[in-house]
């Protein structure tokens, strides 16, 4: 592990030179993780100082309530439409569930060292513990299983109805597939020179942002896992969100303060570009309305636009 180069980090954004498109509202200090719920129209935003979850009205941008967390969450996910929100509290080593009514949910589970990302799967939730190099399976409010994965798992995404999970390990620079029930590894391939995040169509393809390599990587899943296309995206691509209903991908480019839209198929290409908020490290999409939300970590804001 010590022979591996450091994991890629988001590039630092320059001062803004263009007005961000859409509407920008203040949400709190250091927003990063974000997820949009299509059932309620609420958007959950992870704040850093103090560590909290802001629940935002997706239509107006108004912060409805804040919920304290035991540590900041760099990534958020939904257990299902309507919630709860899955918040990996990195410094505390815990996965916290928060209802969209703003209550701490029943489950607050101690997992591994620095849980970075989480995803719902069949029968539970998987958590990528970046500093422990493990994947934890949560069932019934407890850790049911744990398995070692490639060094520094930094992103997870469900596929095949939650039967499998894709894991991108940011320091070892590989993409792996696991059986979500047994945590048995099914496949492993190289994933660029500095990957950070992954999202997958439920069946068909996975998309990995190669932040250091300035590209979007397209992986086919059948008949085997393999890299089939590399799309050049200068600007340090980092945040990624999938609108599966419209077959669209949204990727943030922090080094350019931009958001780009691409089709989610085997030959993606940039369809549109928009000026984004400064340090746009994360993006989410409400699949019911098509609204897109981008966190601006530098200025403590949330950008919302309807492509």
Q: Mean pLDDT for each consecutive 10-residue tract of the chain (307 residues)?
A: 84 94 97 97 96 96 94 96 96 95 78 97 95 96 96 96 97 98 97 97 93 98 95 98 97 98 97 98 97 98 96
Dihedral sign (CA 135, 133, 214, 286): positive
Tokens of 101: 């009514």
Give the per-residue pLDDT at 106.
63
pLDDT of 203: 78
Query: Which alpha helices (H) appear in 109-206, and where do they start and end?
Result: none
Q: Give me the pLDDT at residue 270, please.
A: 98
DSSP 8-state class, residue 85: E
pTM (predicted TM-score): 0.96
Q: CB pairs under 8 A, 24+ apart, for 80-83? A: 80/120, 81/37, 81/38, 81/39, 82/37, 82/39, 82/40, 83/37, 83/39, 83/40
The whole-number pLDDT of residue 2 equals: 59
For the chain, which residues make up each domain, given as ranges?
Answer: 27-305
Domain at 27-305: CATH architecture: 7 Propeller (2.130)
pLDDT for 107:
78
């Amino acid at each position: 592990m010590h022979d591996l180069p450091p994991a890629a980090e988001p590039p630092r954004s320059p001062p803004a030179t263009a007005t961000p498109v859409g509407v920008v509202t203040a949400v709190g200090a250091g927003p990063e993780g974000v997820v949009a719920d299509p059932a309620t129209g609420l958007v959950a935003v992870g704040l850093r100082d103090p560590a909290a979850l802001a629940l935002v009205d997706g239509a107006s941008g108004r912060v409805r309530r804040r919920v304290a967390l035991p540590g900041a969450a760099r990534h958020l996910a939904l257990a299902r439409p309507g919630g709860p929100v899955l918040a990996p509290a990195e410094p505390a080593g815990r996965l916290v569930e928060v209802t969209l009514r703003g209550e701490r949910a029943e489950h607050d589970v101690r997992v591994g060292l620095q849980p970075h990302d989480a995803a719902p799967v069949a029968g539970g939730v998987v958590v990528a513990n970046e500093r422990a190099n493990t994947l934890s399976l949560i069932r019934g409010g407890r850790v049911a299983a744990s398995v070692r994965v490639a060094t520094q798992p930094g992103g997870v995404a469900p596929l095949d109805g939650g039967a499998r999970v894709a894991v991108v390990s940011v320091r070892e620079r590989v993409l792996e597939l696991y059986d979500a029930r047994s945590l048995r590894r099914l496949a492993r391939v190289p994933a660029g020179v500095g990957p950070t995040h992954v999202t997958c169509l439920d069946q068909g393809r996975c998309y990995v942002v190669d932040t250091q390599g300035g590209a979007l990587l397209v992986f086919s899943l059948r008949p085997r896992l393999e890299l089939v296309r590399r799309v050049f995206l200068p600007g340090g691509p980092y945040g990624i969100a999938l609108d599966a209903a419209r077959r669209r991908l949204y990727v943030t480019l922090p080094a350019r303060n931009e958001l780009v839209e691409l089709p989610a198929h085997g030959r993606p290409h940039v369809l549109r570009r928009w000026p984004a908020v400064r340090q746009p490290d994360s993006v989410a999409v409400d699949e019911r309305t098509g609204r897109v939300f981008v966190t601006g970590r530098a200025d403590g804001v949330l950008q919302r636009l309807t492509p």
